[in-house]
Chain A
Amino acid sequence: MNSAANRYPAHLKALIYGFISLWVILAAFPFFWTLWGSFKVELDFSLSLTGQMHLPAKIPLIPMARLLLMSVMPGHGYKKEFYGPLLTQRLFVSLLCAPR
């Protein structure tokens, strides 16, 4: 079945591409999620058993941004209402206190 012999109408083409896109997401997402969760930064080990995060005063920018992003994504255990203000404050301090 070559493409020249199959001229699909626009709505059917949209349906086909939409279905295939959904299938690609279903097929690949578990592996992407496993890969995403396998990258740990040093701050991931700062959580104590009580859930309190012991953060240093100065935190590198990229790990900080990652923690902020994870705080708004479900399934990582980082509660936005708990870590959001704390991490925002730390980010502000990190940006202000330039490394010497």
Chain B
Amino acid sequence: MQPARSAQQEPLGRFVGLDIYFDRGHLAIAEVKEAWAISENWSAFFAKLGNLPFYRAMAFTLTFTFTVTPLLIALGLMIALGVNALSERVKGLVIFVSLLPMIVTPLIGSLILFWMIDSRGILGNAIQWMASDPDLSLKASTGLTWVMLIVYGVWHSAPFAFVVFYAGLQTLPMDQIRSARIDGASRWEQVRYVIVPHLMPLIMFVALIQLMDNFRVLNLLSGFNAEAHAQSLSWIIFNDLGGRHASFRPRRPHPC
């Protein structure tokens, strides 16, 4: 018969304090120090960082945020300028269709695109035909998965920028446009020196909102089933808190 375990000799647990944030699943301080010590150059150092979950998630999150945000602002502005120049008869219909990508929830929208890029889907099939490679799969490549996530991010968020900029274009003072035209400004110069400065407060507003929205990307990864290729900071937090498995946890019967 073994002697009774002493709580002091073999404690069930121990106080870790902030150490839990420094382990490999989080900031990985020791692993980063080791990587810094043994790496011969920056690319080797970043390659080793890419094996650490937190830094891999940070890389995707920052890439997604700072790629999608400027692209959606540019695309939204182009759509707003284009729609503003349309005939009144088609303007309403085009605005309605332009807002569709924003109406659908990201989880469902990403699921639709997930089906389309499948090898049996219309986009997957078309890309295989264009590349003359029947084995090409967008879902099997980490780089292409990142590209698809970024494409979806721009497609989903550009309507928000469009509708804000379109509203701003209605407040554009025509005197400034006429003065610029009289001074010989081309259409590009009118856009660059009159319209964009007039819309700058709205551009800053859209940039701030979208930076926050894109930084907390999470639903796309579930809809695209892309967790093996891309993890975001929100996904790491969600996974860390056990949210991924909470729905599968069996309910305990009530003791009464």
Contact = CB atoms under 8 A, between A and B. Distances in A.
Given A3-B88, A74-B122, A16 B82 contact: yes
A75 B120 CA distance: 5
A96 interface: no
A5 B84 CA distance: 12
Given A3-B87, A27-B98, A28-B97, A74 B82 contact: no
Contacts of A74: 122, 125-126, 129
Contacts of A20: 79, 82-83, 86, 94
A19 B78 contact: yes
A75 B177 contact: no
Nearest to B104: A31
Interface in A52-100: 73-75, 77
Interface residues of A, number: 25
Q: How large is the interface on B (under 10, 10 to 19, 20 to 34, 35 or more residues)?
A: 35 or more
A19 B82 contact: yes
B177 A33 contact: no
Per DSSP, chain A at the interface is helix
A30 B84 contact: no
8 contacts: A3-B85, A16-B86, A20-B79, A20-B83, A23-B98, A27-B101, A28-B100, A75-B125
Interface of B: 78-79, 82-88, 94, 97-98, 100-101, 104, 109, 112-113, 115-116, 120-126, 129, 155, 159, 169-170, 172, 174, 177-178, 187
A33 B85 contact: no
A1 B84 contact: yes
B113 to A, nearest CB: 6
A2 B170 CA distance: 9
A28 to B, nearest CB: 5
B172 A23 contact: no
B109 A16 contact: no
A27 B100 contact: yes
A8 interface: yes
A77 B174 contact: no
Nearest to B178: A5
A31 B187 contact: no
Nearest to B155: A26
